[in-house]
Amino acid sequence: MSVLKRNSVYFGGGVDISNSIELPKPQTHTAAAEESGAAERLPEPAPDPEQELLEQKRRLEQRMSELDQRERDLEQERKSLEEMKARCVEQGKEVILEAKRRAESIVSAANDNASQIISDAEANRDSVFIRAKSEGFEQGQKDGREACLAAGRDILEEARSYAEKINSEKEQLFADYEKEIYDTVIAIAKKVTLDSITSKDSAAVKRLIKKAAKEFRNSERIKITLSENGANEELTADYEYLKELCGGIQYVDVELLPEAEPGTVIVDNGSEIVDAGIQTQLRMIQELGSGKFRAPAKKKKSPEPEEEPDEEE
């Protein structure tokens, strides 16, 4: 209870001016404890909004800097791949030109050897005929014909061996380097394509979806399965644009799979499935190329022509 002292002064007119002093009531031990607990339960001061804004701005600038660095790294890597591709193509051209020069040199040497062999055969034929005339015209004519036929067969056999050897080495050389160039180009295509589809650009995926959806233009509902990444999430967020991309199909369901290969695009209408993914297309191209560059079957050796019977004049 407070103690109230009242001093009253009455002036004329019955006005009462009161001065009152209220003395505080002595606090008990319980009241002091309650005040102490209340002081301890005071909420912490709220964080400074301006400081939070500055911190968010700093984190955003750091993220933008990391993205810029990533883009620069990707550009540098793309340039390196293009330079590697150019070097591979140039090296392949040089190898092919060198192989062509070697083949022409071998053919030229074979022609020279064949001419020499023919000249020697003609010289031998003349000597045979001379000896035949001395021993007897008929016997000499027979011996000369046999010698000419034998020399001709030898010349043809040697020329054929040279030609087969040249063609075999030339085709094998071309096939070996063409396969290496093809494998290099496929590896570069995979690298560049996968880098493009894992970035923010979803243009490649849009083209694949649009092309695959043409197969289901008469369907009322389709389901599209994509690999989960930022670009695909942004694409699927705009449902109306996705429907327009699919040729106006009424119902378009989208499934994002985190475990799917990058570039996965699978379209399903419940009765038919089309796999238009980039990885699938690259595998098909590589399989076709691998079939093209298989080693050709060896040609069977052609039988030698039968010897014509001798004719006497």
> Cβ contacts of residue 17 below 8 Å, gap of 6+?
8, 9, 11
User: Does this model's pTM top 0.85?
Assistant: no
Which token pair is 115? 């001419």
- pLDDT tens track of the chain, all 313 residues? 444 444 444 444 444 544 444 545 555 555 555 555 555 555 566 668 888 888 888 999 998 999 889 889 888 888 888 888 888 888 878 878 887 888 788 878 878 877 777 777 777 766 756 665 666 677 767 777 788 788 878 888 888 887 787 777 777 776 667 777 777 777 787 777 666 666 555 677 888 888 888 888 888 888 988 888 777 777 778 888 888 888 888 888 888 888 888 878 888 888 888 888 878 878 887 777 766 655 554 444 455 545 444 444 3
How confident is the model at residue 69, as a pLDDT?
A: 92
CA-only gyration radius of the chain, Å? 48
C-alpha triplet 148, 152, 158: angle, nearest 5°? 150
d(CA 121, CA 111): 15
Pick the closest to residue 105 from 169, 176, 177 (CA basis). Answer: 169
d(CA 18, CA 21): 10
Pick the closest to residue 116 from 166, 85, 151 (CA basis). Answer: 151
How confident is the model at residue 313, as a pLDDT?
A: 37
d(CA 295, CA 283): 20
199 sits in the region (left: phi over 0; alpha: psi -120 to 50; else beta) called beta
Q: Which whole-number Å values give the CA distances from 80 to 178, 190, 289, in the listed order?
A: 22, 14, 25
15 sits in the region (left: phi over 0; alpha: psi -120 to 50; else beta) called beta
How confident is the model at residue 11, as a pLDDT?
A: 43
The secondary structure of residue 217, as a DSSP letter, is T
d(CA 218, CA 199): 33
The secondary structure of residue 219, as a DSSP letter, is -
Q: Which helix (H) or strand (E) holds 257?
A: strand 251-257
Place of tokens 């330079």: 83
The secondary structure of residue 220, as a DSSP letter, is S
Pick the closest to residue 166 from 110, 112, 103 (CA basis). Answer: 103
d(CA 190, CA 194): 6
> Cβ contacts of residue 213 below 8 Å, gap of 6+?
222, 245, 246, 247, 249, 267
Q: Where are the alpha helices (DSSP H) in 17-48?
A: 29-40
